[in-house]
C-alpha cells in the first residue's frame, strides 16, 4: 500500500530508551531500502548480525535523534524517522566498521515523510550531538544504488572502503565543525 505524503511540521528530539521499538522499525526500513521485504522483523530479531544495531538500546555510548511530526492528534508527537550511532568492535563489527572508537550510523525516515529534508536534518542534528560528545569520526555502510548515498556525500561523508556490495563512508566531525563555522 502506498503511503500518502504527510504535511505536518516536524521537529527533532533526542532518542531515549523508550524509542527502542521505533529504532527497530527504522532499522527494518534501512535494511529493506529497495522497497522489497528482504528481512522481516522476526528475521532481524533472530539474527545477531542484523539486530545488534538496536539490541539493548539505549546502552552506554549510544546516541540518537528522532524526527517527530508535531501535528499528531491531541498534541501527540508521531515519530517520523530516526538516526543513531552505536560503537562496534572488530570481533563483532557492523557492516560499516572502521574502528572501535568510530560509531556507525543507521538511519531511516518513514516513506510518507521522505523527500522533505527530514533525513538531512536528522543527520545535521546527530552530527552536532556527536561532536559535542567528543566523537571525532562516524562511519556508515551504504549499498550500491541506494540514493541515500547522495545525502551522505552532501553531508560530507567520504568513501573509505568497500564491504561486499556497499561503500564504507566516514564523516570527520572536526572538518564539519569548521565547515559550518563552529
Ligand X SMILES: CC(C)(COP(=O)(O)OP(=O)(O)OC[C@H]1O[C@@H](n2cnc3c(N)ncnc32)[C@H](O)[C@@H]1OP(=O)(O)O)[C@@H](O)C(=O)NCCC(=O)NCCS
Q: In the bound complex, what is the minimum distance in angstroms from residue 150's beta carbon to ligand X?
A: 3
Q: Select the span of 51-59, 68-76, 146-154, 173-181 touching ligand X (CB under 6 A).
A: 146-154
CA dihedral 96, 94, 146, 71 (to 10 degrees): -120
When the beta carbons of 62 and 153 are compared against ligand X, the nearer one is: 153
The DSSP-derived string for 120-132 is: HHHHHHHHHHHHH
Task: Write each residue from 24 to 53 as x if it is in contact with ligand X (CB under 6 A), else as -, in one continuous string.
Answer: -----xx--x--------------------
Residues 73-102 that bind ligand X (CB under 6 A): none
The sheet carrying 104-109 orders its strands as: 10-14, 63-69, 78-86, 104-109, 137-143, 166-172, 158-163
# residues near ligand X by CB under 6 A? 19
Q: In the bound complex, what is the minimum distance in angstroms from residue 74's beta carbon to ligand X?
A: 26
Task: Write each residue from 99 to 118 as x if it is in contact with ligand X (CB under 6 A), else as -, in one continuous string.
Answer: --------xxx----xxxxx
Asked if 6 is part of the footprint of ligand X (rule: CB under 6 A), the reply reads no
**CA-CA distances (angstroms) from residue 90 to 16, 22, 128, 162, 174?**
26, 27, 26, 16, 24
DSSP 142: E
Alpha-carbon span 110 to 81, nearest angstrom:
6
Residue 106: enclosing H or E segment and its boundaries?
Answer: strand 104-109
CB distance 65 to 83 below 8 Å = yes
Site for ligand X (CB under 6 A): which residue of 146, 161, 163, 172? 146
Asked if 124 is part of the footprint of ligand X (rule: CB under 6 A), the reply reads no
When the beta carbons of 50 and 174 are compared against ligand X, the nearer one is: 50
Binding site for ligand X (CB under 6 A): 29-30, 33, 107-109, 114-120, 142, 146-148, 150-151
Amino acid at each position: 500500500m502506498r503511503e500518502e505524503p504527510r504535511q505536518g511540521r516536524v521537529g527533532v528530539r533526542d532518542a531515549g530508551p523508550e524509542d527502542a521499538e521505533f529504532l527497530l522499525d527504522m532499522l527494518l526500513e534501512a535494511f529493506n531500502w529497495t522497497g522489497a521485504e528482504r528481512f522481516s522483523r522476526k528475521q532481524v530479531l533472530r539474527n545477531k548480525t542484523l539486530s545488534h544495531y538496536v539490541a539493548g538500546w539505549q546502552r552506554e555510548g549510544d546516541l540518537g535523534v528522532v524526527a517527530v511530526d508535531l501535528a499528531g492528534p491531541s498534541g501527540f508527537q508521531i515519530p517520523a524517522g530516526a538516526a543513531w550511532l552505536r560503537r562496534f568492535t572488530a570481533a563483532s563489527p557492523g557492516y560499516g566498521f572502521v574502528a572501535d572508537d568510530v560509531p556507525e550510523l543507521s538511519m531511516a525516515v518513514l516513506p510518507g515523510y521522505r523527500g522533505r529534508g527530514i533525513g538531512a536534518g536528522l543527520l545535521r542534528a546527530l552530527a552536532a550531538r556527536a561532536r559535542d560528545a567528543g566523537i571525532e569520526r562516524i562511519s556508515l555502510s551504504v549499498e550500491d544504488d541506494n540514493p541515500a548515498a547522495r545525502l551522505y556525500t552532501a553531508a560530507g561523508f567520504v568513501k573509505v572502503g568497500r564491504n561486499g556490495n556497499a561503500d564504507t563512508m566516514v564523516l570527520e566531525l572536526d572538518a564539519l565543525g569548521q565547515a559550518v563555522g563552529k
